[in-house]
A and B are shown apart, each in its own frame.
Chain A
Amino acid sequence: MMAAVIFALGGGMLIALSRQVNGRLALQSSALESSFWNHLVGFAALIAITAAVGSFWPDGVENAPWYAWAGGAVGVVFVAAGSWLIPRLGATMTGALLVAGQMLSGVTLDVLRGVDAVLWMQIGGVALILGGVLLARR
């Protein structure tokens, strides 16, 4: 369990690390170029990892719906946005506002798809996040 906690915390720290490094690259190129290098280098690393321990075509993956293959295109915009934002807002506010946006759209999606959740906690959460965003505006 302790190991799992470390992996979960570490996963989040790796996200902060890559955003910081990509933001530094964007200063001397552009946000879009840093997103390109992020994906290319990550792709090369994942090819190596897959060759060692994974499969390049897991059984049944051909049955996945079309949108399952589209995540990478969205990721390009997301990483570019992070690289553009981090020199402007700093790492903390960039991370906090990205999480805020993720939660707001996540609640919307959950409500639209009828996912079971405690409604008053969702409403309270949205209110707190909107309050935080207003505070961040100054």
Chain B
Amino acid sequence: MAVTLAPSEVPPKRLRALEIVLALAAGSLLSFMLLCNSSLAAYGTPLFSSLTAHGVGTVVAGLTVAGLWRWRVRPVGRRGRAPLWAYLGGLSGALTVLATSIAANSPLALTGTLALGIAGQVFLALVFDAMGAMGLTRRLPSLRDLAALAAILAGTGLIIAARGMGA
């Protein structure tokens, strides 16, 4: 049940520099988030850390949404409510911590868990793009996209291995 995008919403074919910079900035926040959350997990448990992060996140996001409500922009050309299942993304987010903390406590350790997690994430993302899953635009990666992906993954592998082999 793909929902067609209004013309004004159709994503541009070319990746725009702004979007790339924003993605890199958001990704770099993740290192700080993991530093915070893993510190709380070390003093408590991974489950408690995720519970707290989601609780704090609910309050912060709720206050921000409420504070900005007056200036809310209605999505163009998309009338009506999203289907109920679209509200359940948080469920798989909550299960993530269970899966990764079990894996991190195995011989895979943090390094192996991180590397395999990225592999799993990219694999499923490719499948989702090819299918146009969940009503998002279907798209097949170009050769150039695949080359970019390969370079980023190779660099990521080197960096993860560099940490694993230090000490």
Query: Which residues in A have some Cβ–Cβ distance to B below 8 Å?
Result: 1, 3-5, 7-25, 27-30, 32-47, 49-50, 53-58, 60-61, 63-65, 67-82, 84-107, 109-110, 115-119, 121-122, 124-133, 135-138
B44 at the interface (CB under 8 A from A): yes
Please give, as numbers and ranges, the residues of chain A lying within 8 Å of B22 by CB-CB distance. 81, 84-85
Interface of chain B, main secondary structure = helix
Identify A5's interface contact among B30, B53, B108, B148, CB under 8 A: B108
**B28 pairs with A10, CB closer than 8 A:** no
- 17 more A-B residue pairs beyond the given contacts A97-B27, A100-B156, with a C-beta to C-beta distance below 8 A: A8-B120, A12-B121, A13-B120, A20-B133, A27-B3, A28-B86, A29-B82, A41-B87, A43-B58, A81-B23, A85-B19, A92-B149, A96-B152, A97-B24, A104-B28, A133-B152, A135-B144
Interface size for B (C-beta < 8 A) is: 123
Please give, as numbers and ranges, the residues of chain A lying within 8 Å of B158 by CB-CB distance. 121-122, 124-125, 128
**A7 pairs with B102, CB closer than 8 A:** yes
